[in-house]
Amino acid sequence: MGPRVLRVAQVATGNAGRLALKQLILDPRFDLVAVAVSDAEKVGADAGELARLGLSTGVEAALGLDPVLDARPDCVVYCAMGDTRLRDAIDDCRRLLAAGINVVGTAPTPLAYPWGVLPQQWIHPIEQAALDGGSSLFVSGVDPGFMNDLIPLALAATCRTVEQVRCMEIADYATYDGSTVMFDVMGFGLPLDETPMLLRPGILSSAWGIAVRQLAAGLGIPIDEIVDSHERIAAPEAFDIAAGHIPKGGAAALRFEVVGMSRGRPAVVIEHVTRLRDDLCSGWARPAQPGGSYRVEIVGEPSYMVDICPTSREGDHNYAAILAGVGRVVNAIPAVAAAEPGILTTLDLPLVAGSGFAVSSGD
């Protein structure tokens, strides 16, 4: 007898959620039983339509969490917006866990490794809900996500010594169509004298502090403090991107660093270089492939510099990166469902693989 097919539900069908929903429908390890949406226009739509698969599943989207709770799935894939509604997203996860439903998700990001980042009074109710419900939670993605933990930890496992680890995202976001993230969170298009949500004091260190602290914990590196810095470049003229319009003088490129300091030295560094046009900021780091890539640098014995270039037959580098982050959490469902109750991290999970080899119709 093969492994048990797990009953699953999807929460949110935006850029990440739609891709997660597609895998939940097609992957034989899962039986989709519910879909939750926040947009009234999607209510009643078949999951196959929302996943753009051109097929009918018989599962219709419903508004809010209550229908998901009523369906009693083994696991929920949570992809609702967490950046601008952190408390609500955390409370959603708490409700699901308390009901005995495991949760994997691309949000809320701080729950990927909340210790030392979120206040304990926020963490304790999640941990208690998981214990009460006998359920587990795992939040990850690409960055913050496996590019900041799974990949560098695998490389560092071959090193005699490690002095510094730097994880970089170098990407052109012009084709990313998430307007809330692009404009409200990251502040693209805003005048440089206006401070967006992401660049308010302490936000960068909180948002990527989870990656710094988890990687440091995996390497046994004590972190004394986390510091951050950033710079923005204005658009030389007006132009349009997938998410909207960038006026002349509005922010069109962003570079930031989040640094975990250990004994006065930078030990773990997360660096992002984000452009909206390839010709901007020629002095900043360049991607290893057109559009964008990720880079892991380890200074130690031996040292490494590894470029990772996500690609997809279905979309560009931004699509491929979102798909990879979604794949990380969806493929973790069986391991999370089998785990002891609590908040899980990459440090807790076994090596997680996909569902197996797939032969295309042209082979």
pLDDT at 62: 97
pLDDT value at residue 1 = 59
Q: Is 127 exposed, middle or buried (CB count within 10 Å of its CB: 0-12, 13-18, 19+)?
A: middle
**To which H or E segment does residue 36 belong?**
strand 30-37
Contacts (Cβ under 8 Å, ≥6 apart) of 218: 149, 153, 156, 346, 347
Could you give the CA distance from residue 260 to residue 138 in angstroms, rounded to a whole number? 23
* pLDDT attached to residue 362: 41
Residue 358: its pLDDT value, please? 55
Task: State the pTM of this model.
Answer: 0.93
Buried b (16+ CB within 10 A) or exposed e, 73-82: bbbbbbbbbb
Task: Please give the Cα distance from 112 to 105 (Å, whole number).
Answer: 9
So what's the pLDDT on residue 2? 65
Looking only at the bridges linking them, the beta strands covering 342-344 and 292-301 are unpaired
Mean pLDDT by 10 residues, the chain (363 residues): 88 96 97 96 97 96 96 97 90 98 96 94 97 98 96 97 97 93 96 96 93 96 96 97 97 98 97 97 96 97 98 95 97 97 97 68 39
Q: What pLDDT is stored for residue 357 in this prediction?
A: 57
Q: C-alpha angle with apex 191: 254 to 226, nearest 5 degrees?
A: 40
User: What CATH number belongs to 6-141+324-344?
Assistant: 3.40.50.720
Give the span between the Cα atoms of 99 and 83, in whole angstroms: 24
Cβ atoms within 10 A of the Cβ of 348, count?
A: 14
For residue 62 the two structure tokens come to: 């419903």
Residue boundaries of the structural domains of the chain:
6-141+324-344, 150-309
For 67-119, write each residue's pLDDT tens digit: 999 999 999 999 998 888 999 999 999 999 999 999 999 999 999 999 999 99
Q: Tokens standing for 123?
A: 């963490």
Task: Say what the pLDDT of residue 3 is.
Answer: 79
Q: Which CATH architecture has domain 150-309?
A: 2-Layer Sandwich (3.30)
